[in-house]
Structure 1
Amino acid sequence: MKRKKILAAVLAAAVLTGICGVQIVTKRWNVNSCFAGAYPVRGVDVSHHQGEIDWKELSGQNLDFAFIKATEGSSHEDEKFQENWRLAGETDLFIGAYHFFSFDSSGADQADWYIRTVGELSGKLCPAVDVEYYGGKAADPPPRKETITQLSLCLERLEEHYGRKPIIYTTYKVYRRYIEGNFEDYPLWIRNVYYPPQLDLAGKWRFWQYRDTAVLDGYKGEEKYIDLNVFSGTREELEEYRIDSSGEQEAQIPGTV
């Protein structure tokens, strides 16, 4: 009997290894599920692409937080932001509003647009700024020096207003070109839907977007998929990213993992 149990365990491990190995080779997102499970604090990020969202239903699917797209550039507001912001605020989720950074607009103007659109963030997560290539920017990356300058203006203006360092969401390519060595003291939200964050980012990232093809209940829009994320700490640590009623820090930015 003991030998049978050992054999069964070995076979199970081999099957799991084989599945994960195939997923790694084929670059399917599923491999991340083998690692994301180590981080129990989970969340989503949404925009108008998810259409009408039943936040009560969505939030009941083992989620702890949600980031909602608010603004883009210096003049665009996500068409579903106000509705999502109001309804998500009626759930038990930690919620935050994110800004999609434009390489073609003044960083200060973008921050001011976010502030005017989102307003006060009492009890909400600190702002997040999504910095990624769009359009043809990946093939023809914007100038490094000017981008760093404008991003600095955006982040500093948001921090000045809200009293917290914004979270930076980014991809590896953008991280290497603009973020690394320049914004190391900002909380990092890294995107990698194929593999876990690379070893040189261990101890740096706080949020990880590990899947962009999840399907959950509770939304109906042009996009059938939804992004899944994990937080590297506990719910108590996540709460330290909330902004208090005075707009000042409840605590210093928590230590990284």
Structure 2
Amino acid sequence: MVMENVMGLKYSSFAIRGIDVSQFNGTIDWTKVSANFSGIRVGYGRTIDTKFKENWLNSKGKVNRIPYWYMDYYSNHTSGATVNGMADADWGKEQAETCWANLKNDPDGSVFLDIENGHPSYSPAISTVSVRAQAIAKAFLERMDELSSKRNGIYCSLGLLNWFNAWFKDRPLWVAWYNENQTPQTVLSSVATNGWLGKCLIWQYASDGDMDDDGAGDGVAMGMAYKTLDLNAWLGTSAQYTELFGKEVQQVALYRIKILIYNLTVRTGPGVLYPRLRRADFPGEYNIYEEKNGFGRISDIKSEWLSLSPDYVQKITTPTPPPAELTDAEKLARLWAAHPELH
């Protein structure tokens, strides 16, 4: 999804982070991608994204994958198109079947239907053909639900939420809204105000790839061929994440730091007013999983933070690789560590 944006948010400020990609990101080096999840475009109409198979295969095991399909709501009403004259419901159903044919042998997550305006050179504004566009969308989602045995979602801009009729509004939502003044809480509030009843799981907050708010795109550093990159934040709960992907969230480190002083305090939250827990190990190194207020979270399961002042820590570029899938015993040990009230 391509939209103009000017942002003031940092990718590192979100505990669960993601990207979304298509052929327009070029050849991707997935070993450089730092994300919990990635949306991957399957295709549109009767066309498969030229990078889909490569991205779907190479990203497996490195991120949790979310397939999305760009809805063609115009070709069956376009003179000269091979599907011109096809009934709207049949066109939606065919797109779902084309999408699923490319996913069924290696499915992951739920499918999100990307609904947005096509370019005016080949399509009318979606608001001028609402009846037919919604008929195509409904047929796609009904057929995809049947094929995948899941309840699939919608991926669209905040401004389009009022366009949908009631049939759609209880579906999982991936919302695009580029506004530097927003927070996850205000996004959820705005989605609800616009009458959406389903779970808003993902917020696409930027498309320029500027991860650290320095005015430059960081797509190349994230393994893309170009600087631009769609950036996303997870807005759902950990339980909803597990429900979508069938696995628990695996925390992804942003980078690693080296402790430079003896008495650096580890606190329960990102700021000097939070209670002290202990001194950081010195000499010592830690992964950083999240940044907030100049502090970094050093634990993947507990709220343990320390100052990221360059006077106290030195950034090491390469983080420790993500852990392998946990055994039941390891999951129990982590639960025990994260919840001392159970002791």
Aligned length: 208
Does the 8 A contact of 1:131 with 1:170 survive in 2?
A: yes
| TM superposition shift of 1:32 | 4.2
- Partners of 2:17 and 2:202 lie apart in 1 by 9
Which protein, 1 or 2, shows the higher relative CO under an 8 Å CA cutoff with sep ≥ 6? 1
- Partners of 1:142 and 1:118 lie apart in 2 by 32
- Partners of 2:203 and 2:92 lie apart in 1 by 25
TM-score (normalised: structure 2): 0.55
- Partners of 2:147 and 2:231 lie apart in 1 by 29
- Partners of 1:47 and 1:210 lie apart in 2 by 17
Map residues 1-257 of structure 1 onto 2, 5 A cutoff: 29-33=6-10, 37=13, 39-58=14-33, 61=34, 63-73=35-45, 75-91=46-62, 93-104=63-74, 105=76, 106-122=91-107, 124-136=108-120, 137=123, 139=125, 141-177=127-163, 179=164, 181-195=166-180, 196=182, 197=187, 199-202=189-192, 204-214=199-209, 215-216=218-219, 217-221=221-225, 223-242=226-245
Tell me which residue corresponds to 2:292. Answer: none
- Partners of 1:183 and 1:108 lie apart in 2 by 16
Compared CA separation, residues 243 and 128, structure 1 to 2 (3 A): farther
TM-score (normalised: structure 1): 0.72
SS at 1:86's partner residue?
helix
Give 2:111's aligned amino acid: P
| TM superposition shift of 1:146 | 1.8
Cα deviations across residues 126-155 of structure 1 (Å, max 9, x unaligned)? 111110112125756342122211111000
- Structure 1 stretch 49-58 or stretch 233-242: which is displaced more? 233-242
List gaps (5 residues or longer) in structure 1: 1-26, 245-257
- Partners of 2:112 and 2:56 lie apart in 1 by 14
Give 1:133's aligned amino acid: N
Cα deviations across residues 12-62 of structure 1 (Å, max 9, x unaligned)? xxxxxxxxxxxxxxx95323449x93x41110000111111111111xx2x
Cα deviations across residues 155-192 of structure 1 (Å, max 9, x unaligned)? 01000111111121001333221x25331121011101
List gaps (5 residues or longer) in structure 2: 77-90, 210-217, 248-343
Q: How many percent identity over aligned positions?
A: 23
- Partners of 1:83 and 1:201 lie apart in 2 by 34
- Partners of 1:176 and 1:114 lie apart in 2 by 26
| TM superposition shift of 1:97 | 1.3
- Partners of 2:6 and 2:106 lie apart in 1 by 33
- Partners of 1:125 and 1:148 lie apart in 2 by 23
Compared CA separation, residues 129 and 140, structure 1 to 2 (3 A): closer
Cα deviations across residues 194-219 of structure 1 (Å, max 9, x unaligned)? 25337341475211000111123243
Does the 8 A contact of 2:31 with 2:223 survive in 1?
A: no
Does the 8 A contact of 2:22 with 2:40 survive in 1?
A: yes
Does the 8 A contact of 1:50 with 1:219 survive in 2?
A: no
State the 4+ residue runs in structure 1 displaced beyond 6 angstroms. none
SS at 2:143's partner residue?
helix
Bigger fraction of residues in helix: 1
